[in-house]
Amino acid sequence: MILVMGGAGYIGSHTVKHLIQNGYEVVVADNLCSGHKQAVQNAHFEIADLLNPQSIDAVFKKYKIDTVIHFAAFLSVGESVENPAKYYRNNVVGTLNLLDTMIANNVKNIVFSSTAAVFGNPQYTPIDEAHPTSPINPYGQTKLMIEKIFADYRRAYGLNYIALRYFNASGCSSDATIGESHNPETHLIPLVLKAINGERENIKIFGTDYDTPDGTCIRDYIHVEDLATAHRLAIEHINEYSGEINLGTSKGTSVKEIIEIAENITGKKCPVVFTERRAGDPAILCASNQKAYKVLGWKPTKSMKDIIETAWKWEQNKKF
Ligand code: UFG
C-alpha cells in the first residue's frame, strides 16, 4: 500500500488517480487545510497532520504501508518570505515527524515533492541536477533542507528517497474530474483563464523588461499528469536509486506566449495589465530532463496546448 501524504492537493490528487489507474492500492492522509476531500477518488482516506505525529503513526498502524509519497507542504513563495516560521515548522518539522514515524514503523521508501525553487537564480539553463542549489526564499530553503535531511537519513538509517524537483506544474486531469484549485490562486495559467472567463478583471504581467525575446519571464510548464507518471516511476525505481531528479519539459514558454495560446484555445481575449516585476522572479527557468529519462525512463508527453486545454476544461466545470 502506498501512503500519499497531502494526496488531496493539486499534484497529490492527480498522482493518486494515476496510481489507482495503474493498479496500486493507496491511502491518502491529509489535514485538508488546503486540499479538497472531493479530489480523492477511490483511495482510502485518513485525516492526519504532520505536526501531530500520533495522527501519522495511527495511519501506519492501520495500513500496511511500503512506500510514502510526500506532498504535504505549504507552497507560496511570497507567504514564506512574510511568515518563515510557518514554513520551517510545517515543511521541515512536519517532514521530520513523518520520517521518524516511518523509521519507527520500519518503512524506508519515500518519494518527495521538491521544487525548482531550490536553485534560486539560475547560473545556466537548462538546469541539470549538477547546478548549484541556492534558494532565494524560505519556501525553497525548506525543500532544500529536506533533501539534505534525506541524504543524512539514508546514511544513518538506510532511507531510500527520490526528491522530484518540479518546474511549473500545470494543467489538469484529461477527464476534468479533478484540477487545480488553490485559495488564493497565484499561478499564472489559472489566473489567465479566470481573466478570460470574467472571474477576474485582468491578468497582471509581472515585468516586460526581462532579458528574454519578448521581455516577459520564461518558465518550463509541465503537465500534472506527466508529473503523476514520474511519481509512479519513482516508486518503481526507489530500490535502485536515491537522490534528486529535475522534472520539466526542457522547453520554455514566456508569459506573453501563455496568454496568446490561451486566447487561441478559448477563442476569447484576455484583459492584460502590464506591471512591475515581482520580487524573486528569475528571467528564465528551464529544466534538463535527461536524468529523469536515464534513471526513471521518464519523458514528458503533454504539450503546452494540452496543458491549457485541460486547464480550461477544468476552469469551466470546476467541481471544487
Ligand atoms: N506571473 C505573472 N502574473 C501573475 C502570476 C504570475 O506575470 O499574476 C508570472 C510570474 O512572474 C512568472 C510566471 O508568471 O514569471 C509563472 O508564475 P507562477 O506564479 O505561476 O509560478 P512560479 O514560476 O513563480 O512558481 C512555480 C511554483 C512555485 C515554485 C517555483 C519554482 O508555483 O511553487 O515555480 O521555480 F517554487
pLDDT of 203 above 90: yes
Rounded Cα distance, 179 and 319, in Å: 8
Which of the four pLDDT bands, split at 50, 70 and 90, describes residue 83?
very high
Q: Is the CB of 109 under 6 A from ligand 1?
A: no
- Mapped onto helix, strand or coil, the DSSP state of residue 47 is strand
Ligand 1 centroid to 255 CA: how many Å? Answer: 9
**pLDDT, mean of residues 276-284:** 92
Give the neighbor-by-neighbor strand order of the sheet with 160-166: 44-47, 26-30, 2-5, 67-70, 109-115, 160-166, 243-247
Q: Is the CB of 187 under 6 A from ligand 1?
A: yes
Rounded Cα distance, 143 and 283, in Å: 21
Q: Is 139 one of the catalytic residues?
A: yes
Cβ atoms 35, 13 nearer than 8 A: yes
In 55-88, which positions are buried (b, 16+ CB within 10 angstroms) versus exposed (e)? bbbbbbeebebebbbbbbbbbbbebbeeeeeebb
Which of the four pLDDT bands, split at 50, 70 and 90, describes residue 280?
confident
pTM of the model: 0.98
Q: What is the pLDDT of residue 160?
A: 98
pLDDT in tens, 154-169: 999 999 999 999 999 9
Burial (CB count within 10 angstroms: exposed 0-12, middle 13-18, buried 19+), residue 279: exposed
Cβ atoms 9, 75 nearer than 8 A: no
Compute φ and ψ for 317, nearest 5 degrees.
-130, 40
Q: What is the pLDDT of residue 279?
A: 87
Three cell numbers at 300? 514528458
pLDDT of 134 above 90: yes
Percent residues over pLDDT 70 in the chain: 100
Cβ atoms 51, 44 nearer than 8 A: no
Q: Is the CB of 102 under 6 A from ligand 1?
A: no
Residue nearest to ligand 1 atom 29, measured at CA: 117
Three cell numbers at 232? 509512479
